[in-house]
Structure 1
């Protein structure tokens, strides 16, 4: 590869900026609060719901550790919802579990990898609410995608899909949670992003990676909610979200065309009309080996996710997937190179 693909984002290119500031697409007039990370957002919600008397939590059986950790430390009754082979929630399982509890429950739902809520998903949310459930929708992978699920509370971590140093939102029936957010602080990620931008034109790439490691460790360790860096809040009103979405849709389509039909690779989230993929997710025989081989070519592909340590062993886990970066930083030509590299690894 002529340049690195994947890993932490650098500063955004000016051609993806608006000339006039505007509200981001997830702001719809509902009450909203911003914090540094999705983990902090979920911690605030966990505290709020526990204080209100909630004790039962329905959540996907395929999820990342940071979705679970804010609810640990208290005696929540975890009820894990089955997943379909394409890593969507089994709505039948969701309905069955909700019907079996006493009507006083919380359901954390998510449409992974940029999928949009369809009518069946929205109907399932309404059914949970009619049973007395409080529904939290994790929108992290679809902040650029249209559609709302009508959940009681929506949250998203923004640094996973957007070029910001930090940031997450809570939207909906969040009460006075904004009053529990501490002032912003320096966390170093904006400086790391600038260092990476500099490294791409001759700077020290090792230094920028060290900056990211240090900054990420500060953010990931924090349970106390802080407001995001002011640079984040300002940037969120200057991004051209339509262009950012179009780049992802285009890149996913290019990569999917190259991989489609390859027997050793199954595309988990094939592009569909209206969706804006966070990644192109593929099922492969040995994702760790594929990840290492692609990294040697300069393509850094995350694995979503390592199995959370507290997950019961009898709960099945899809451990053979790899997520390919397709974001706005890359051209169709680079996506073509990535696709060819993937095919080359599968044949080696």
Structure 2
């Protein structure tokens, strides 16, 4: 696949990642080289989908376990989206990916993701490398792993055997793990030039404004002592402002998929974050919560610089128990409506609402709520 053909004008209007080099965030030179900051992860994927269509890539392979917003930008470019089975780490099953790649009649975009910042198996790394060698486009969504890799670069030591980056394009939505209202990073391998961005408009300002309101609501709610709802399974009325802010922020993001630069407020906030320090704080918060779990609860990513992911046959009860304390799953991926009935979907996976600045008491309260959900009514 000729990645230089039909290229577009450069994105000179975009801003480089603030502080990436000063924090030593790129030890191998390929994590975020010359990364650019756009308004949202949805917009970053829109840039990828547009490039695909311009280069005759009409199929996208996604892990069967994914957020439906990952598929939307490809649908909007009239691309076929095909799910590929995942393994126990919620990443591509290597054998399934091998078969899916071989079944493609032409070049495909392969969207891989280290869910929960879990490590990549050597088998999957080899399959992704094989796909690139065959001319397919590998796109890594590093939203969950962008902080963990500052501590442990790529989880496999590929530098000695393969000096190339592990993907052709890398993206990461920033608001999941960083205290910013919006924003996403995107970087491409040499020869891949994306469409230029439009100027920011009212919808983009609404994304930043509602994102700031959400940050304020989250801070205000976490500053209060944890309280439990008197109605089992329902959220405490005191967190109504938080729920409203969450809904408004998500609605603003859904309303603007056309790519634009991140705003000055977000760029200023990013420049002030000590990323490696924040990554270590996330690891501590994750480890603290996971160390308190027992019974029918299996942590998937204990100690990673990401919110904890667990598997449990009681995941629905746990989710309701946590919601009664005003703790809402930071990652809620419902089964996409377009998946076939026979497609596997991990119904027992749940993300836990912790944060780097949580107190030990909050961790104990959440662990207690989880334990209570395991007791038969």
TM-score range relative to shorter protein: 0.7 to 0.9
Q: What is the CA–CA distance in structure 1 between the aligned matches of 2:32 and 2:221, rounded to whole Å? A: 40
Shift of 1:192: 3.9
The match for 1:312 is 340
Residue 215 of structure 2 is aligned to residue 193 of structure 1: yes
Shift of 1:60: 0.4
Deviation readout 1:192-241 (Å, 9 max, x if unpaired): 42355456668x96456534432331112212112122111122121122
Q: Which is worse superposed, 283-292 or 321-330?
A: 283-292
With a CA cutoff of 8 Å and minimum separation of 6, indicate the structure with the bigger relative contact order.
Answer: 1
Shift of 1:110: 0.8
Deviation readout 1:305-338 (Å, 9 max, x if unpaired): 1011222222111112211123212133422332
On the 8 A contact 2:321/2:369 being kept in 1, the answer is no
On the 8 A contact 1:22/1:237 being kept in 2, the answer is no
The match for 1:237 is 271
Residue 200 of structure 2 is aligned to residue 183 of structure 1: yes
Using a 3 Å threshold, how does the CA distance of structure 1 residues 323 and 200 change in structure 2: closer, same or farther? closer
- Of 19, 39, 42 in structure 1, the residue corresponding to residue 42 of structure 2 is 39
The match for 2:108 is 105
Q: What is the CA–CA distance in structure 2 between the aligned matches of 1:222 and 1:64, rounded to whole Å? A: 17
Within 5 Å, which residues of 2 pair with 1:1-348? Answer: 22=22, 25=25, 30-117=33-120, 119-146=122-149, 147-148=153-154, 150-173=166-189, 175-177=192-194, 179-183=196-200, 185-187=204-206, 188=209, 189-194=211-216, 196-197=218-219, 206-207=240-241, 209-260=243-294, 262=295, 264-271=296-303, 276-302=304-330, 304-348=332-376
Shift of 1:139: 0.3
Shift of 1:22: 4.0
Secondary structure (helix, strand or coil) at the match of 2:248 reads helix
Q: Taking structure 1 as the reference length, what is the TM-score of the superposition?
A: 0.82
Using a 3 Å threshold, how does the CA distance of structure 1 residues 221 and 127 change in structure 2: closer, same or farther? same
Deviation readout 1:254-300 (Å, 9 max, x if unpaired): 2222224x1x22223344xxxx3422112223433322221212322
On the 8 A contact 2:109/2:138 being kept in 1, the answer is yes
Deviation readout 1:132-175 (Å, 9 max, x if unpaired): 11100000111102134620000111111111100011111384
Using a 3 Å threshold, how does the CA distance of structure 1 residues 81 and 196 change in structure 2: closer, same or farther? closer
Shift of 1:33: 2.3
Q: What is the CA–CA distance in structure 2 between the aligned matches of 1:339 and 1:103, rounded to whole Å? A: 49
Using a 3 Å threshold, how does the CA distance of structure 1 residues 196 and 56 change in structure 2: closer, same or farther? closer
On the 8 A contact 2:129/2:166 being kept in 1, the answer is yes
Q: Which runs of 5+ in 2 are unaligned?
A: 1-17, 155-164, 225-237
Shift of 1:250: 1.7
On the 8 A contact 1:280/1:326 being kept in 2, the answer is yes
On the 8 A contact 2:308/2:352 being kept in 1, the answer is yes
Secondary structure (helix, strand or coil) at the match of 1:243 reads helix
On the 8 A contact 1:302/1:324 being kept in 2, the answer is yes
On the 8 A contact 1:287/1:303 being kept in 2, the answer is no
Shift of 1:120: 4.0
Q: What is the CA–CA distance in structure 1 between the aligned matches of 2:354 and 2:38, rounded to whole Å? A: 26
Number of equivalences? 324
Q: What is the CA–CA distance in structure 1 between the aligned matches of 2:19 and 2:255, rounded to whole Å? A: 36
